A and B are shown apart, each in its own frame.
Chain A
Amino acid sequence: MKIISKIEDKKIKSQNLLVETTFGEYLSFANDLIKNNEYQRLRVKSSKSIYSLLRTDLIVGCVIPSIVLALQDCPKIDSDEDLKSFFDKQRDKILILDGLQRTYTIIDAQNDIEQLDYDKKELFNNSKLRLEIYYNINRFGILYRMLTLNAGQTPMTARHQIEMLYRDYLGKTFDNIVLKSDIDGAAKAIDNEFVFKNVIDGVNSFVSNNESPMDRQDILDNISILENISQKGIIESDVFEDYLSTYSLLFSKVRELSNNYCINEDDKYLHELPDSVFGKSVADILSTSQSMTGFGAAVSKMIERKIISGFDDIKKSIDKISNPDDIEWLFEFLRNMEKIKSSSKKIGNSQRLYFKYIYRFLFNPECDSYCNLPESIKNAYDMYNNQA
């Protein structure tokens, strides 16, 4: 492996190396790279014939475009030896940004040449391959580059890529919040445990400026996501951590305002609540994907409209949320959610929209209901109703 050139990517503030290696050397770690990219899309089925053509071309020594890799948590590469050492010892930190399908094809080609004579095998193994390697790159830099490199090809949603980038947060504690898997019952909101998938939904809603479920997002939206990331200048900081720390603050604050109140059977009767409420406590309510996506989309919209400059403004506002006189706002919220449930074509989407309005009213300093939770809940429902 030989470093040919080194330049700085000023957009994503990272270093980019052009490296020359051989197919044989690449194959010595290719299978490990694929394991690291398990969250990425599976092998493309539809262009079987194109890749099979490439496979035969590789065996005779064709040149293929550079494969692009990113080295996570790698601040410095000064020499070929540093690079080789990283590849030997920290393979689990190497991501393929562009060239996963080509990697599969190279592995297939290796299997094909097993049947050939020694000279042909040597020719293949010694054929040159160029790699483009990013290091000293943060996660959103990786996301940004992935989206730009993959635009127009068989796509992966941005949401999927975000999940892949932050998969190592699963099971860890961040700002008092523990991120758990989405197996039922795994996350207990009352113990400050969030479902990892819900947080990913929330971050993605912020990045894409859209509270809707992301799995079915139009791939073309990746372009607008790119623009969003680019304009908001969020490559410099880690949006995931900013989002989660701010949301964690909000979560604690609203729980405190509710005194950790839990809805009981008497409440259902006295306050005209349904048998099955959206959430029995603030912890249950605010740990949902609907709340997190509504929050992400609301903050994103306010930044776009220059109402706020970023998550720091939200953190300051959270401190200012006034203490309501009673818990009636919680009952009103639950009644509104029940009305939404009985009148909506797609309940989940409508719930997200309602949450988005609540957070916009709550954190917009230009609104009368700024930092006023009961008023925000009421005004948000009026707005939702007008839209519906």
Chain B
Amino acid sequence: MKQHINGTELIVEDSLENSKLILKIINNETGEIKASYYPLLSFRDSAYIQDIKNFEFHLFNNINCVENDIRILRINHQRIGWVFPIVSLESTEHSYAKDNNYLDFAYMSIVYLLCSLKTRNLEDNICLSTIFGDNTQIVALYKPWTNGIENFDFNNYSLSLLQYGYCEEGNIKTDSQIIVKIIELKSVSKNNEDVLRFSDLVLKKMYPLAVTEYDRFIILYQTIEILISKIFEVKFIELRCDLETTNDLHKYKEKIDDISKEKYRINLLFSNYSTVPIDYRDKLTNACNDFLHYNEFDNEESVQLALYKVRNRIVHSLYLLKSDYEVLLEKVNNRLLDAIVCIMITLNIH
């Protein structure tokens, strides 16, 4: 079968040689065979050769992944595809080398990657991980499965990959030691699209490019600032309506004062306008308090106060922090990212 992706130079055609599957890479215009690719994985028995148009692919970077980090992707417990390191496509040593379902997707991924090469990159011994990078991961989705999801757009779901270290450019270092075999993708909330679209951009584009933990914290907190500014807007409009009917102007003024306070709005964000699981909140609180304690500041009981205090120390009292403050700040950042992803998935500021 000949496979081609619109807009690319090459066609990939499969054939059998000595009972082994090989892929010929052909120039689309001239029909000349430019190179051959000999897969290491054994596709002979499980090659489920379909039209590549039935698949959707995305490339990500993940410095945390090892060869065996081959994961199933699901939405609402329904399988939609896989994400795996490109390195796994050229190895028979990982745990999925004989898994037929993985092999089906691996084969189509190889075809996709070969189709997307440029003629000038071709050489006799093509090594996909050398061309695309050892840290590159490929998301392979099966369209007949994703078509079952209403208004499916992968861009809405890719935010939830950030927690596992997957990013389109740059690097995100995670500290999770848990072996994850299934990733349940969740869509960004359909509410408050104006602020979420911008926050999504900040997280996906700016955060992975940050170099220091200080930078990462500032960018993450920027997301919080964007969301709580929306809360201020909404609350202010509510209060403006109440002004006509209120009898107690002192109380009214107190309410204005409250919504002006950042920590008040952070509390609303975590408690009223999104759903962040208790363990995520506790972990973030503990990480913030560890940071505060190490730098000889008092701890705080609630997540909003602890986070706000960390923010203030960094913005206003950087000179007071210990020289290695970034070690514990890294843990704060990792927990904060987890919490922000949850917020963005469940956000409903009304």
Contact = CB atoms under 8 A, between A and B. Distances in A.
A215 B125 contact: yes
Task: Indicate the member of A184, A215, A276, A348 with the most B CB atoms within 10 Å.
Answer: A348
A343 B66 contact: yes
Given A183-B19, A184-B42, A216-B125, A342 B91 contact: no
A347 B91 contact: yes
Contacts of A260: none
Nearest to B88: A347
A346 interface: yes
Contacts, number: 39
B130 A216 contact: yes
The secondary structure that dominates the B interface is: loop
B67 A347 contact: yes
Interface residues of B, number: 19
A216 B127 contact: yes
Interface in A306-358: 341-348, 351
Contacts of A276: 95
Interface in A333-388: 341-348, 351
B104 to A, nearest CB: 19
Contact of B134 (A41, A215, A343, A346): A346
A342 B69 CA distance: 8
Contacts of B68: 341-342, 344, 347
Nearest to A290: B93
Interface in A149-194: 183-184
A343 B69 CA distance: 9
B94 interface: yes
Contacts of B92: 348
A348 B93 contact: yes
A184 B21 CA distance: 13
Contacts of A342: 66, 68, 179
Interface string B123-164: 011010110001000000000000000000000000000000
B284 interface: no
Interface in B69-102: 87, 91-95
Given A184-B42, A215-B125, A347-B68, A341 B94 contact: yes
Interface string B1-45: 000000000000000001100000000000000000000001000
Contacts of B95: 276, 341
A347 B93 contact: yes
A188 B151 CA distance: 53
Contacts of A216: 125, 127, 130
Task: Indicate the member of B19, B42, B66 with the most A CB atoms within 10 Å.
Answer: B66
Contacts of B134: 345-346
Contacts of B67: 341, 344-347
Contacts of B91: 346-348
Contacts of A183: 18-19
Nearest to B95: A276
A345 B127 contact: no
A344 B66 CA distance: 5
B144 to A, nearest CB: 30
Nearest to A184: B42
7 contacts: A41-B124, A216-B125, A341-B95, A344-B68, A345-B66, A345-B67, A347-B68
Given A341-B68, A342-B68, 17 more contacts: A183-B19, A216-B125, A216-B130, A342-B66, A344-B67, A344-B68, A345-B66, A345-B134, A346-B67, A346-B129, A346-B134, A347-B67, A347-B93, A348-B91, A348-B92, A348-B93, A351-B93
Interface of B: 18-19, 42, 66-68, 87, 91-95, 124-125, 127, 129-130, 134, 179
